[in-house]
A and B are shown apart, each in its own frame.
Chain A
Amino acid sequence: MRRLALVVALFLAQPLLADSNLPPAYWSNRQLPDPAQEAKAQALMAELRCLVCQGQSIADSDAELAGDMRDLVRRRIAAGEPPAAIRAWLVQRYGSWISYRPTSELAAWPLWLAPLALLIVGAFLIRRRIRLKARR
């Protein structure tokens, strides 16, 4: 019984192994003293994808790397770097994958055109419906 408990405890402890022993970076869970700068940082962090829990933003993720990225964003914002430059710096390293904000590159065109296409299809369907009714 005790051995079983030990095995279970070891299994439960496993996720801890994936984390380091160092405390989170200074600015990872701390707001910048200047509210305007903090607002800029928050807006950017909400649009940057976490490299570990892909699908979350670094603002939402508890991963250590996300914490380090929040620290990096806040440090750079505090140093006066514009958010667009920080985003570009990260895109240079990880590709546009890292940013949630849709770009104007070719791969993103369907995203921009889809609403327009749906609107046209909708208008077409309505027109047909009206015509059918008028005929009756």
Chain B
Amino acid sequence: MSRAVRFAPLALLLVLIAGLVWRLATPPSSDVSSKLAGKPLPAFALPAMLPGKLGLTSRDFTSGRPRLINVFASWCVPCIEEAAVLQQLKARGVGIDGIAIRDRPEDVAVFLARNGDPYERIGSDRQSDVQIALGSSGVPESFIIDGRGVIRYQHIGAIKAGDVPMILGKLEQAR
């Protein structure tokens, strides 16, 4: 047996170890992006979460102006930080609607009283049905919908203060 062949298993092992160390050092992102970007918003109709605030249906997104859907929950910790940023976006004239996942009206009311209310409408998604239909895999997530009801961008995780110019840019592009 030649020397090269004899050392082949060792070389293979080293390659394997190098691969494992590389993936441990730089783990791949576990974000699951929705495949619906660029496609029309799936049809849905969610009942109102709060008295005095409308529920949310897919027909609300054909007004001609791009809007932001924010998938959130009162029990979601990063959503607290995001609420302030959504307020900033609202102040810049962005129309924001909420989809509250597995939530109760009293909890949402407390959450909004404490963290501010950037939402024009809030739909109640008690069994994550619409969340799954959107291809969303957690809270918070946001979707930019253009004026014709097409999903243009998905933001996974909280929108941070530093993301505001990017989000405004995406909304401008969706115009």
Does A46 belong to the interface (CB within 8 Å)?
no
Q: Are B127 and A52 in contact (CB under 8 A)?
A: no
With a cutoff of 8 Å between Cβ atoms, the chain A residues found around residue B135 in the complex are 93-94
Q: Are A68 and B128 in contact (CB under 8 A)?
A: yes
- Select from chain B the residue with minimum beta-carbon distance to A64: B102
Minimum CB–CB distance for A26 against chain B, Å: 8
Does A22 belong to the interface (CB within 8 Å)?
yes
With a cutoff of 8 Å between Cβ atoms, the chain A residues found around residue B76 in the complex are 18
- Number of A residues near B (Cβ < 8 Å) is 24
In-complex Cβ contact of B138 among A17, A20, A52, A68 (8 A): A52
Q: Which of B27-35, B86-94, B112-120 contacts A (4 or more CB under 8 A)?
A: B27-35
Does B167 belong to the interface (CB within 8 Å)?
no
Interface residues of B in 31-45 (CB under 8 A from A): 32-36
- Select from chain A the residue with minimum beta-carbon distance to B76: A18
With a cutoff of 8 Å between Cβ atoms, the chain B residues found around residue A64 in the complex are 102, 128
With a cutoff of 8 Å between Cβ atoms, the chain A residues found around residue B34 in the complex are 93-94
Does B129 belong to the interface (CB within 8 Å)?
yes
Q: Are B132 and A22 in contact (CB under 8 A)?
A: no
Does B133 belong to the interface (CB within 8 Å)?
yes
Does A51 belong to the interface (CB within 8 Å)?
yes
- Number of B residues near A (Cβ < 8 Å) is 26
Q: Are A72 and B102 in contact (CB under 8 A)?
A: no
In-complex Cβ contact of A68 among B33, B107, B132 (8 A): B132
Does B49 belong to the interface (CB within 8 Å)?
no
Interface readout for B132-172 with A: 1 if CB under 8 Å, 0 if not?
11110110000000000000000000000000000000000
Minimum CB–CB distance for A21 against chain B, Å: 6
With a cutoff of 8 Å between Cβ atoms, the chain B residues found around residue A71 in the complex are 127
- Tell me the complex Cα distance, A98–B33, Å: 11
Does A25 belong to the interface (CB within 8 Å)?
yes
Minimum CB–CB distance for A83 against chain B, Å: 16
Does A104 belong to the interface (CB within 8 Å)?
no
Minimum CB–CB distance for B8 against chain A, Å: 12
- Select from chain B the residue with minimum beta-carbon distance to A68: B128
Q: Are B102 and A22 in contact (CB under 8 A)?
A: yes
Q: Are B77 and A17 in contact (CB under 8 A)?
A: yes
Minimum CB–CB distance for A72 against chain B, Å: 6
Q: Are A95 and B35 in contact (CB under 8 A)?
A: yes
With a cutoff of 8 Å between Cβ atoms, the chain B residues found around residue A65 in the complex are 128, 131-132, 137-138
Extra contacts, 18 of them, besides A21-B75, A65-B137 (Cβ < 8 A), are A17-B77, A20-B102, A21-B102, A22-B103, A51-B137, A52-B137, A54-B32, A64-B128, A65-B132, A68-B129, A72-B127, A92-B36, A93-B35, A93-B132, A94-B34, A94-B35, A95-B32, A97-B32
Residues of B within 8 A of A (CB): 30, 32-36, 73, 75-77, 101-104, 107, 126-129, 131-135, 137-138
